Amino acid sequence: MEARLDPFTHDTLKRILPHVISAGRAASGALPERIAELVNIRASQINGCGACLDMHVKEALHAGETPLRVTLVGAWRETSVFTDQERAALALTEEGTRLADSTGVGDETWSDAARHFDDAELGALVAQIALINTFNRFNVMTRQQGGHYEVGQFA
């Protein structure tokens, strides 16, 4: 599989991507890094984004996440390794990513997330979910491949 285009050299996308990256940086800090990476991994699994999975699995492991937990993100409901707060974030991630598969984010899912995150964290969580979905779509549409990312490459 070859990339359809390079978003970092394409005339239009190279003007747009820095703004999306900047939005991601603005959202960081209000949400614990471990939760942000779990969100990034789960949305990327759902969307089939190999480039984002490559990046966020490596970043999560580098930040101290365990290989077991990273491996089990896709089956988080059937495991005992995630906290209630992480489960709330993963549920919101799934519903926020699969908007076309249902009626959007359910009230129960939202209420559970609101119980586990303060207003600043909840806003950052919503932004994180929206942004990783944006990156997934850029990468999937342009066929960016995973496997070549080095930790900190885009820092």
Tell me 100's DSSP state. G
**127 sits in which H/E element:** helix 119-141
| Prediction pTM value | 0.94
- pLDDT by residue for the chain (155 residues), tens only, comes to 788 888 888 889 889 989 998 998 888 788 999 999 999 999 999 999 999 999 999 999 999 999 999 999 999 999 999 999 999 999 999 999 999 888 889 999 999 999 999 999 999 999 999 999 999 999 999 999 999 999 988 77
Fold of 33-141: AhpD-like (1.20.1290)
Nearest Cα neighbor of 32 from 134, 147, 153, 121 is 121
Rounded to 5°, the CA angle 2-72-87 comes to 110
